[in-house]
Amino acid sequence: MIEEQVRTLFAKVYQLDTPAEQINVEEPLFGPESRYGLDSLDTLRFIAALQQQYQFDVGSCGTDTFRTIRSIAEFVSR
């Protein structure tokens, strides 16, 4: 459920041509391995959008928290 929401938000924030359901929940979202060409600044933008939706304290996140849809969903559902 949360994974679906995060995936939809990801597609919306970056206005992706790729439909949300085609985003693999374990694929890298940012950096050279990302097929979306997103970088560190984009990570920051997505975190701001996630914070607006889920109201979490980013202080408790790990360095890999925002790598994939799955890791993000696990973090925000805590």
Partner 1 sequence: MEGTLVRLTPVEDADFALIARWLQPSVAATMGAGGTAEYRSVESIRSGMSKLPLIMIETRDGRKIGLVQWRTLGHDRSFELGAVVGEPQLWDNGCGAEASLLALDYLFRFKDAHRVQFTTGLYNRRVLTFLFKTGVVIEGILRDYFYFDGCYHDAVVASLLRPEYDRALTELDGLPPVTEMVPAAERELAARSSAPACANAGTACSPIWSRGRDGGARR
- Which CB atom, from 21 or from 60, has the smaller least distance to partner 1? 60
Work out whether 41 is an interface residue with partner 1 (CB under 8 A): yes
The C-alpha atoms of residue 55 and residue 41 are separated, in whole angstroms, by: 20
Q: Give the residue among 46, 52, 58 at the shortest CA–CA distance from 13.
A: 46
Work out whether 44 is an interface residue with partner 1 (CB under 8 A): yes
Place of tokens 């933008």: 45
* The one-letter amino acid at 56: F
Work out whether 30 is an interface residue with partner 1 (CB under 8 A): yes
Binding-site ranges for partner 1 (CB under 8 A):
13, 30-32, 34, 39-41, 43-45, 47-49, 51, 58-60, 63-67
